[in-house]
Every structure is written in C-alpha cells, then in structure tokens.
Amino acid sequence: MYDRGLSEEQRMMRQSCRDFVDNVVLPFIKANWQREWSMVPEDRLPPVILLEADKLGLRTLGVPEEYGGTELDKATEVATFAIIAEEIARGDSGLADKLVQNWKVSVLLRQFAPRHLQEKWFKRLVDEPSLLLAHCLTEPRGASDRWLPYNVPEAAMQTKAIKTNGGWVVNGRKQFISNGYDAGLYVVYANTNPKVGMLQGTSSFLVPRDTKGFAIARCNETLGCRYMNNGEMVFEDMFVPDDHLLVENDALGSAGIYFRPGKIIQAAKNLGVGVRAFEATADYVQNYVQGGRILIKHQAVALRLADMATRIEAVRALLGRAAQAVDDKTPEAETLCNMAKLFASEEIMKVVQHAVELHGGNGIMLDFGIEKLLRDAVIFLHMDATVDISKMKIVKTMFPQTAGKYAGVE
C-alpha cells in the first residue's frame, strides 16, 4: 500500500475498507462461490454484506452531512472515491459497482435535485441500508457510440419525454444499467427536443421505482461482476412531475460531475481486480512447488510476476494523475480520465491473464477464485464506454477541430 500524498482521513478510510474486504468480503466470496451463479438475482449477495458496508459509511459517500451521509473533502473527493473503490473491488468488483452508483448519483442529486427531494431521498438512503441508486443512460439502440462527434438529431435518445400539464410523459427503454434490477431511485435520461442534437436536447429526471408506467424488464445475466444486478427497464406513458425534472435539455453537458469521476472510479475498480490477482498469484507462486522447486524460482514465472507488478504501477500512476486533474477541474481532465479508464481496462486484462496462466489448472477452477478475476476484468473493456470509443473520445478532446466528423445519414 502507498501512503505518499494521502491525507490522514484517506489513510484511515482505506484501511477500514481493506479490513472490511479481508474480514467480510473475501471470506464470503471464498466460502460461497456458487452463489454468484444463482439465476435468482435476489439470492446472490446477502443483505449482511451491504449492512456491514453501511456501518462504515460506504453506501452513502457523497451524501451531505446534514442528511447523515459521509461527506468527503471536495478538493480531493474523486481521489478518495478512487482509493475506496480500488479497495472494495479488491474484494469484489460487483459489490464495488453496487456501491459506487450510490456515490455518483448522490453527487448529481446534491447538485441538481430540489431541496425537498434531497431531504426525502438522502434521508431514505441513509435510513435504509438496502436502498440503491441507478443512472439510466444506455439504451438497446445506443450506448457509448453516442459520444462520438455525432451530435445530431438522429443520434438522440430513443427514450422520449413530452411536456404535459404538471409534468412529463416518458416512453422508452433502458438497457445495461448498473443496479438497474435492484435500485429504489433512478436518474433517467430522455430526449425532450427532437429538433436539435443530443447534447442540446436531452433532459434528466428523478424516477422512484414505484412510479406508475415504470417496469423492470429483466436482470441481465453477465459474465462477470455478478454481485451487481445489471438491469433493463421499460417506461410506458410514465408520468414524471415537474419538480422531478433535474436538468432540462442540457442534462448531458451538466452530467460531467457524474461522468468524469465515473471514469476514475472505473479505472480504480479495475485496478482493485488487478491488485487482487497479483496478491493471490504472488502468494501462490511462492508456496506451490513444481519441477522440484517453488514456482517463483522458475525464471519464466518470475518474469511474468514482474510484468504484472509493473502494469499495476503504471495504471496506478496514470489513475492518480487523472484523479487529481478531475478534482482540480483542469482543462486536461476530460482527456486524462478517459485515458485512465482505457489504460486500466487493457493493462489489468493482461495482469489477470498472467494470474490465470501462472495458476495452471487451478486458474480455471471455479472454486479456486482466480478465473472470477478474469471474468470481472473482461467486463471493464465494455463498461463506461468500449475500448475503441474511449480512444476516439480521447482523440476528439485532443484535436476537436480535426477529429472525425459526422458523415451524414446513410
């Protein structure tokens, strides 16, 4: 663990998270590896895990103290999110994703929700240990590709909201939503002006789970991160009152306070998976004997272990720089947070591949716990933008005048 540059509060929070992971999360994962594969989503992660996380204030990070939440120093909030996300993901990336959705949505709510709704929902979030939040942007017909330079009406959200007396009527569908199956409160994005580009015509709404016309279609059965229940939802003539409109038309432009920290947190969760893979592998190769000697004494094994450690440190260095840029709101923050997310997803994938191969046959045994890290790492290649889309977004921020332009309707 590294302490350089961390505040005393950050060190204490990191240690509390590490103890939580070592004493609660990892023992649960090891003893109950079959539960991950239950096709009944409610049966996967027992409530006691969230209860234990709640005791440490991990579920309510970012919620203002006046409502009973765990408020962080605003000057280093994103860096602290990253530190905690890494530690939790070292235990399980699905659990980390379950929790960080609450953090990111809480940041949005404290910025844009009217005070009476903050009072209502932040209080519920603090009082109900099982309450989760979700951010509903992705649709079956459009996801990270919408962030290309194609800011035109035909790239707009398929989910639409039409103004009516006293509110809005929403129709549409959302897909691949983290916490989508479980959440009690959702931030939903919809097209409110079909005549302009996506960035000028998208609004965001606060939608409680029990809203009439809102239904959970299914839980998406994913390859990894299975302790976070990813969901699909449908809106059929769903009425949302005027005070539940968060941002009108400029919702995507205003959501940078969600998206930029989100990239940092994704990279940090990914890093946590890599750290766990390295820890488990380092222990294994120093205790397992093959060819008459412990594995680490074989040159090929030692070289791979060094490669894993180097990739992890490179990810950590870029992540730290990107997190500081986002906290400082510097001009390069957009580029760096995308770079960190992209770099982590590719480098940690290589780390966990080494881990699986260095464990030999044990690496692909379900009850051994290493193949799970490989499955979890694969998910990060697609979460919060695919690898190729991330690269195109990086180039767009670096060369906005000359990067790819919209080619027109086919």
Same domain, 162 and 279: no
Q: Rounded to an integer, what distance in angstroms lies between the CA atom of residue 362 and that of residue 355?
A: 10
Angle, CA 385 vertex, CA 384 and CA 390 arms, to 5°:
125
Q: What is the CATH number of the domain that holds 203?
A: 2.40.110.10
DSSP letter string, 300-318: HHHHHHHHHHHHHHHHHHH
Q: Are residues 264 and 319 in the same domain?
A: yes
Q: Which of 253, 268, 301 is the last residue of a domain?
A: 253
In this prediction, residue 151 carries a pLDDT of: 76
Token pair of 231, please?
Answer: 């969901």
Joined together, the tokens standing for residue 68 give: 């009973």
Distance CA 72, CA 110 (A): 13
- Residue 246 three-state SS: strand
Asked if 196 and 80 sit in the same domain, the reply is: no
Per DSSP bridges, beta strands 202-208 and 185-191 are antiparallel
Structure tokens at 167: 């509110």
- State the first-to-last Cα distance of the chain, in angstroms, to the nearest integer: 53
249 lies in the same domain as 222: yes
* The domain boundary residue, chosen from 130, 152, 174: 130
Same domain, 261 and 213: no
Instruction: Indicate if 238 and 300 belong to the same structural domain.
Output: no
Quick one: which of 128, 130, 132, 152 has its CA closest to 142?
Answer: 152
**CA dist., res. 284 & res. 255, Å (int):** 44
What is the per-residue pLDDT for 290?
A: 86
pLDDT in tens, the chain (410 residues): 567 779 999 999 999 999 999 999 999 999 999 999 999 999 999 999 999 999 999 999 999 999 999 999 999 999 999 999 999 999 999 999 999 999 999 999 999 999 999 999 999 999 999 999 999 999 998 777 666 667 778 778 999 999 999 999 999 999 999 999 999 999 999 999 999 988 899 999 999 999 999 999 999 999 999 999 999 999 999 999 999 999 999 999 888 888 999 999 999 999 999 999 999 999 999 999 988 899 999 999 999 999 999 999 999 999 999 999 999 999 999 999 999 999 999 999 999 999 999 999 999 999 999 999 999 999 999 999 899 989 988 998 999 888 776 656 66
For residue 255, the model assigns a pLDDT of 84
Q: Give the end of a domain, one of 101, 130, 159.
A: 130
CA 59 to chain centre: 14
Instruction: Please say whether the beta carbons of 166 and 123 come within 8 A.
Output: no
Residue 170 structure tokens: 């929403």
Q: Which amino acid is at 285?
A: V
Q: How many domains does the chain have?
A: 3
CATH code, 357: 1.20.140.10
In a domain, 405, yes or no: no
Domain shared by 146 and 80, yes or no: no
**Given this model, what pLDDT does residue 153 score?**
80
| Same domain, residue pair 238 and 277 | no
Same domain, 125 and 98: yes
CB atoms within 10 A of CB 179: 25
Are 187 and 233 contacting, i.e. CB atoms less than 8 angstroms apart? no
Q: Domain holding 43: CATH number?
A: 1.10.540.10
Q: What is the model's pLDDT at position 143?
A: 73
Cα–Cα distance, 265 to 62 (Å, whole number): 14
- Residue 152: predicted pLDDT: 77
Residue 141 pLDDT: 80
Position 404 in a domain: no
Q: Are residues 176 and 280 in the same domain?
A: no
- Check whether residue 235 and residue 159 sit in a common domain: yes
Place of tokens 């609660």: 24
Domain housing 153: 134-253
Q: How far apart are CA 160 and CA 147, in angstroms?
A: 18
What pLDDT sits at residue 407? 58
Same domain, 390 and 285: yes
